[in-house]
């Protein structure tokens, strides 16, 4: 059986960066990895291997091998093939090293140095084999560590018939990093009862709560006059926009919140005296608190319209995605089996709320409850991204054990 490390090193060298913009997939180069995965799945003997030639999704199955009288749900495992547009993914040169503590000079000339001072999490990895970059690109452990682990698991299951499991449904998706990962996901073809995305961070990570999210656009209509004769006539849309912003709680912003604390984020503002447009994103794990944030936008606009006597402020608020917890809660055994499997393998679970969304959140609302599992990657979307080799191996074992945990006699 091929080591998960070798798979990982092979996959990260393939540039699969997605981009903001039109198209699905947003970049054709994601097919390079998709086609490789298809040929590898076929070579290892996976069933129903299929490439969506139009939208770049890879699907496959590992048929169940249950003993007579035993049952198990069909379990989905999902990872995304693309890497973040934040940092280049071209010509990734992964380096494997034994981390003995201290700084790691990634570029070799002191330009890019991975320091425990900047990333204290590094201290947890002393004595481990790590994969790092040369500082010129990201690594792509997000999410090629997940891809490699699922592929290694598939090969393991196909060569170890004694490892008992039900039907396993595999999918590799494009464009997760730009919010398009499930746009063309064929849930019916996929055929799982529930799933796990393998797209988290350090070993032990388990996530089944994410933000509820909305976007809000505020348009301020001003009135331009000559500045010399502006008294009681000019209405400056830019200063009115600043007044709107000043009525939001200053401590409820991304830079001042963590954990379960939600926020208002002014993402962009552009305008002049006649017209100013602001776009916000609103986030909260608690649905009722998000509703309160949305309501506050309407209330502020109403107050200011009253103050300035007219339709000066116009707000449009739209929900973007929801917290998957509402979908997972009625099926908590999906989470419990992971916790049990981690316990059996001596992995300390780290259950944290995601301060963002995941493909799993969208899939959950499409009818496929889908918590997120760890990959062993760290500091994603960065030149300083790294992955732990022993943890990637452990996660392959964890996936196999989770499948076993779902078998009922
Ligand atoms: Zn990811």
CA–CA dist 314, 221 (Å, integer)? 8
**% the chain with pLDDT above 90:** 97
- Low-confidence stretches of the chain (pLDDT beneath 70): none
* Cis previous bond, 25, omega within 30: yes
Q: How far is the CA of 153 from the centre of ligand 1 (A)?
A: 19
Ligand 1 centroid to residue 177 C-alpha, Å: 7
Pick the catalytic residue: 164, 176, 177, 385? 176
Give yes or no: 176 in active site: yes
Q: How far is ligand 1, taken at its centre, from the CA of residue 142, in Å?
A: 5
The answer to whether 190 and 59 have CB atoms below 8 angstroms apart is: yes
pLDDT at residue 359, rounded to an integer:
87
Give me the pLDDT at residue 395, please. 98
* Residue 50 CA, ligand 1 centroid: distance in Å: 22
Name the pTM for this structure: 0.89
Active-site residue identified among 15, 40, 52, 82 = 82
DSSP 275-322: EEEEEEEEEESSHHHHHHHHHHHHHHHHHHHHHHTSS-EEEEEEEEE-
- pLDDT at residue 356, rounded to an integer: 86
- Rounded to the nearest whole angstrom, what is the distance from the C-alpha of residue 107 to the centroid of ligand 1? 24
Question: What is residue 371's predicted lDDT score, i.e. its pLDDT?
Answer: 97
Residue 143 appears among annotated catalytic residues: no
Q: Respond yes or no on whether the N-terminal peptide bond of residue 143 is cis (omega within 30° of 0).
A: yes
């Amino acid at each position: 059986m091929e080591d998960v490390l070798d798979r990982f090193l092979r996959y990260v060298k393939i540039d699969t960066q997605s981009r903001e913009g039109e198209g699905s997939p947003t970049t054709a180069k994601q097919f390079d990895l998709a086609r490789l995965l298809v040929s590898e799945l076929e070579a290892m003997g996976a069933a129903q291997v299929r490439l969506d030639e139009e939208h770049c999704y890879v699907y496959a199955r590992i048929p169940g091998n249950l003993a007579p009288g035993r049952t198990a749900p069909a379990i989905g495992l999902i990872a995304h093939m693309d890497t973040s547009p934040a940092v280049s993914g071209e010509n990734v040169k992964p380096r494997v090293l034994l981390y003995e503590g201290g700084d790691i000079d990634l570029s070799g000339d002191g330009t890019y140095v991975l320091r425990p001072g900047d990333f204290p999490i590094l201290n947890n990895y002393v004595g481990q084999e790590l994969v790092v970059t040369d500082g010129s690109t990201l690594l792509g452990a997000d999410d090629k560590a997940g891809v490699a682990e699922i592929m290694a698991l598939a090969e393991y299951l196909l060569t170890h018939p004694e490892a008992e499991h039900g039907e396993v449904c595999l999918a590799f998706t494009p464009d997760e990093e730009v919010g398009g990962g499930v746009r063309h996901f064929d849930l019916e073809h996929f055929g799982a009862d529930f799933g796990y995305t393998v797209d988290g961070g350090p070993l032990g990570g388990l996530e089944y709560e994410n933000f509820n999210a909305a976007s809000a656009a505020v348009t301020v209509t001003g009135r331009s006059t000559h500045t010399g004769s502006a008294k009681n006539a000019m209405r400056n849309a830019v200063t009115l926009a600043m007044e709107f912003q000043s009525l939001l709680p200053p401590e409820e912003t991304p830079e001042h919140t963590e954990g379960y604390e939600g926020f208002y984020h002014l993402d962009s503002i552009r305008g002049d005296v006649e017209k100013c447009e602001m776009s916000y994103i609103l986030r909260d794990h608690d649905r009722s608190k998000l509703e309160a944030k949305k309501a506050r936008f309407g209330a502020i606009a109403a107050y200011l319209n009253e103050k300035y006597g007219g339709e000066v402020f116009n707000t449009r608020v739209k929900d973007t995605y929801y917290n998957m917890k509402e979908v997972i809660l009625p099926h908590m055994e999906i989470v419990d089996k992971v916790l049990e499997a981690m316990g059996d393998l001596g992995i300390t679970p780290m259950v944290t709320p995601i301060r963002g969304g995941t493909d799993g959140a969208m899939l959950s609302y499409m009818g496929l409850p889908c918590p997120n599992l760890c990959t062993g990657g760290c500091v994603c979307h960065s030149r300083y991204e790294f992955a732990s080799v022993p943890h990637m191996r452990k996660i392959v074992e964890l996936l196999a054990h989770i499948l076993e945990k779902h078998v009922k006699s």
